[in-house]
Structure 1
């Protein structure tokens, strides 16, 4: 898919991304707290950069020449760290997003949310 222009992405963020992203994050976190909802919760977390600013990943399988961590490593990380750390990380990013000064930090944090949650490399 072709990258969207900076103007389109900025308009998306101003009118939709800033409020939709925390909603998606908290729905994902709730789903992750239920065992049966984890697959959908992880899928929503991986969509956060797109929900925030229509940012599409350039490549889903590799990042700077490195492949994704194994499923087992990612699952163990998620169970012990990712599910709770991602909630704090995402809500801190949402706080930064509503401030003009913190906006660059918020974008940086939201774009790294898939990695914080499950070590998923979102090369965007």
Structure 2
């Protein structure tokens, strides 16, 4: 999908993104605390930057030094840290997104939300 214009993304943010992002994070978090909802919750977390500003995620080629942590490390991390840290991180970013000054920091934080949740690197 092609990138949308800055004007389109700004209008989306002003009309929808600022209030829909905390809802998406909260819903993803609720899904993540259930075994059945976990896959959908993780997918929703990966889409949070899009919910905020219609910004498509750029996936980096995995062969360029971005080694992933093993699932044996990522699973316990999620169980003990990631599920609650992602909620705090995401809602903090959503709160920052409500101000002009905090918006760049919020976008940076939301891009890293999958990493905070499961140590998954893009």
Same fold, TM-score > 0.5, yes or no: yes
**Taking structure 1 as reference, are residues 8 and 68 closer, same or farther at Cα in structure 2, changes over 3 Å only?**
farther
CA distance in 2, matches of 1:21, 1:115: 18
SS class of match (2:121): coil
CA distance in 2, matches of 1:63, 1:29: 30
The Cα of 1:61 is off from its aligned counterpart by: 6.0
User: Does structure 1 residue 17 correspond to structure 2 residue 17?
Assistant: yes
TM-score normalized by structure 1? 0.85
1:56-77, CA deviations, whole angstroms, 9 ceiling, x for partnerless residues? 1222663854244333332222
TM-score normalized by structure 2? 0.86
**Taking structure 1 as reference, are residues 24 and 2 closer, same or farther at Cα in structure 2, changes over 3 Å only?**
same
Q: Work out whether residues 114 and 120 of structure 1, in 8 Å CA contact, stay in contact via their aligned partners in 2.
A: yes
Number of aligned residue pairs: give it.
122
- Residue in 1 that maps onto 2:90: 90
SS class of match (2:43): helix
CA distance in 2, matches of 1:75, 1:68: 13
Q: Work out whether residues 63 and 121 of structure 1, in 8 Å CA contact, stay in contact via their aligned partners in 2.
A: no
CA distance in 2, matches of 1:107, 1:43: 18
Structure 2 spans left out of the alignment, 5+ residues: none
CA distance in 2, matches of 1:60, 1:73: 22
**Taking structure 1 as reference, are residues 44 and 60 closer, same or farther at Cα in structure 2, changes over 3 Å only?**
farther
Q: CA RMSD in A?
A: 1.9
